[in-house]
Amino acid sequence: MALPSFNWWGKGSHKGTPVVVTMENPNWSMVELEAPSESDFQTTVTQEKARGKNAKQLTWVLLLKAHRAAGCLTSVASTLFSLGSTIRRRVISGRTDNNDSTPSTENNTVKTRFYNCIKSFLWLSLLLLGFEIAAYFKGWHYGAPKLQLQYIFTAPFGVRDLFDGLYSRWVLIRVGYLAPPLQFLANVCIILFIVQSLDRLVLCLGCFWIRFKKIKPIPKQDAIVDLEENGFFPMVLVQIPMCNEKEVYQQSIAAVCNLDWPKSKILIQVLDDSDEPTTQLLIKEEVHKWQQDGARIVYRQRVIRDGYKAGNLKSGMSYSYVKEYEFVAIFDADFQPAPDFLKRTIPHFKDNEDVGLVQARWSFVNKDENLLTRLQNVNLSFHFEVEQQVNGVFINFFGFNGTAGVWRIKALEESGGWLERTTVEDMDIAVRAHLHGWKFVFLNDVECQCELPESYEAYRKQQHRWHSGPMQLFRLCLPDIIRAKISMWKKFNMIFLFFLLRKLILPFYSFTLFCIILPMTMFIPEAELPAWVVCYIPATMSFLNILPTPKSFPFIVPYLLFENTMSVTKFNAMISGLFQLGSAYEWVVTKKSGRSSEGDLVSLVEKETKQQRGESEPNLDETKTDILREQKSRQKKHNRMYTKELALAFLLLTASARSLLSAQGIHFYFLLFQGISFLLVGLDLIGEQVL
């Protein structure tokens, strides 16, 4: 077929004239076209240039992304290499929690028994894993245990070899003797898990209701008028208990001395339990400096340090001048109240004679310091915004947090004052005050800055004290709760919800279900844990826990894994407190870094010298030298490995390997990542890194 020929007329001077296109093929019809204008050509050229420019831009964008990807891979490789080097140095050093030179909150006998128990499970799991792998390659890899039993009973006698006979007996023992009690224990833990999850869900619904209705404690109008217009300021005693906390003493004393309250109506007690002479001298000098500035502040130190913090506070309340004061505000050494703290808390007592405590929430100056502080921030934000706020609004009772609160002195005295019988003196006085009919107010919008533990060692010891103390208190207070003249609902709430469910059941099922039963079900598959127990409900609870801190959503998975990891410490502490095992009554002060109060020691000495012109300071140079020496020695601390966490890490990783044989997807991933979490914590890679 002949191709059509085109005759193009009109170019240059003929622009705008019609162009006739003739075609030799008779089947083609005549077409009349308009000749393109010069502007059309310019537009075409511009479009071609734009396409070329866009292509170059796309190329540069792709190259930039490739460069970023390469940089990311390099960073990941560098991080992994650094992590490997850190692990290698830590393993070579051999420092573990068993040779910790600092005071321990666990009795060595109890700790050794607990560790040996976990280690026995580990060795047994390794033995069973080898047994199961051998059976798998021998053909014992049926999808369900029922098929294994069917094969055992239908196989001809004598056909199988010795190994098959041993494995068949092991399967029969599993089915007849091991699986039923394990399944029963698993079902009990699942029920406890569901009950505790419902409790948490109810608390979250209560928090949503408070936000929806915009409910918050509001002081009576005449109380605000008395402060702002009539100048009525009640007498307030402020106590700052501290013990060898040279890193943070300045910030708390300065913040309290700057409280916006008439100086004639406030007295500050610095209750120093330090046994380090250098620290004592520094605190005395700081108090003296503020006394010269006009603050009503006194320094008190006990000769006999009995009862730890409770004994220290009790000693501060024993002075005769305390009778002149109506309220007492308590701040730990690392807390920094805002200047208007008293003006926002004291009015809630006005014309509310049954209110015994006003508690403020905590905020944290170092919440973004490392992964450990971020996870603590999630946990404590839920505690304050959900647990404390809901209990305060609906039942007027919650556990006193030990600091950042104001007590009516009359409530303290009627409740028996501070007692040294447990390591949770704050919870002790709160329970006794509630039994005497006093009500509590929680202010979620009043914050007091403080510091989170940055090292896993400090956080672990703090959590041990926080979870062993409530069990000691439960043993002591149970008869008083039963005999108290309060409603049955309040007794139920205090016994079942406050103590049993949130202080005993939570650490019990967390450790038992996810660290013991779940890995055992991998080796005894006749006992099963549903996927919704392993994955869906924990994920939902973690989602609810992280709602008060929406910026922490990227850490939802690490938070879930870390909470299960901490269940080992909490379970051990709960057992120690409940059965009075180990050093349940020992108090270890949480280490502070003083991140918000770091200053030049030389400038501090110069400032004190300037304020004390003409006075001799014979020990000033020695003090500075001692401080620098102590700081240098403090910097020589080391990270260490934690044996229980490492043993559980290998136990869970062994169970995850066993789960591959039975193709249990969700169980495998949970055990794998939980095992890695235990491994990171056991190697002390989650918090402050020293050496």
With a cut of 70, say whether residue 131 has pLDDT above it: yes
The pLDDT of residue 15 = 45
**Average of pLDDT values for 299-324?**
92
The pLDDT of residue 12 = 42
Q: Residue 525 in contact with residue 519, Cβ under 8 Å?
A: no
**Average of pLDDT values for 482-492?**
93
Give the CA count within 13 Å in the CB-facing half-sphere of 232. 9
Q: How far apart are CA 556 and CA 563, in angstroms?
A: 11
Identify which of 260, 592, 264, 305 has the alpha carbon closest to the alpha carbon of residue 458.
592
Residue 469, SS3? helix
Strand partners, 268: 238, 297
| Type and span of the H or E element at 114 | helix 108-137
The fraction of the chain above a pLDDT of 90, given in percent, is 53
Q: Residue 271 in contact with residue 245, Cβ under 8 Å?
A: no
With a cut of 70, say whether residue 393 has pLDDT above it: yes
The pLDDT of residue 177 = 92
The pLDDT of residue 579 = 87
The pLDDT of residue 30 = 47
**Average of pLDDT values for 56-83?**
72
Helices (H), 328-447: 341-345, 371-382, 389-394, 409-414, 425-435
Q: How confident is the model at residue 209 (pLDDT cuts 50, 70, 90)?
A: very high
| Type and span of the H or E element at 285 | helix 277-292
Residue 615, SS3? coil
Give the CA count within 13 Å in the CB-facing half-sphere of 167. 25
Residue 479, SS3? helix
> Which of 226, 273, 334, 684 is an active site residue?
273
Q: How far apart are CA 576 and CA 320, in angstroms?
A: 39
With a cut of 70, say whether residue 556 has pLDDT above it: yes
With a cut of 80, say whether residue 236 has pLDDT above it: yes
With a cut of 70, say whether residue 109 has pLDDT above it: no
With a cut of 90, say whether residue 615 has pLDDT above it: no
Tokens of residue 181, six digits: 């009690």
Q: How confident is the model at residue 686 (pLDDT cuts 50, 70, 90)?
A: confident
The pLDDT of residue 305 = 81
> Which of 226, 272, 332, 426 is an active site residue?
426
The pLDDT of residue 293 = 93
Residue 475, SS3? helix
Q: Give catalytic status of residue 426 as yes or no.
A: yes
Which has the higher per-residue pLDDT, 8 or 201?
Answer: 201
Instruction: Kindly report the number of other CB atoms within 10 A of residue 153's CB atom.
Output: 9
β 18-21/31-34 pair status = antiparallel
Q: Give catalytic status of residue 222 as yes or no.
A: no
Q: Strands, E, within 409-483: which ranges?
A: 439-450
With a cut of 50, say whether residue 19 has pLDDT above it: no
Residue 295, SS3? coil
Tokens of residue 38, six digits: 């010069």
The lowest-confidence range among 10-24, 123-137, 273-287, 476-490 is 10-24
Q: How far apart are CA 122 and CA 118, in angstroms?
A: 6
Instruction: Please identify which residue in the block is written with the tokens 């000033």.
Output: 620
The pLDDT of residue 296 = 96
The pLDDT of residue 39 = 61
Identify which of 561, 390, 397, 424 has the alpha carbon closest to the alpha carbon of residue 503.
424
Average pLDDT score, the chain: 81
What sign results for the dihedral spanned by CA atoms 152, 153, 158, 162?
positive
The lowest-confidence range among 117-131, 223-237, 598-612 is 598-612
Identify which of 596, 207, 219, 211 has the alpha carbon closest to the alpha carbon of residue 406.
219
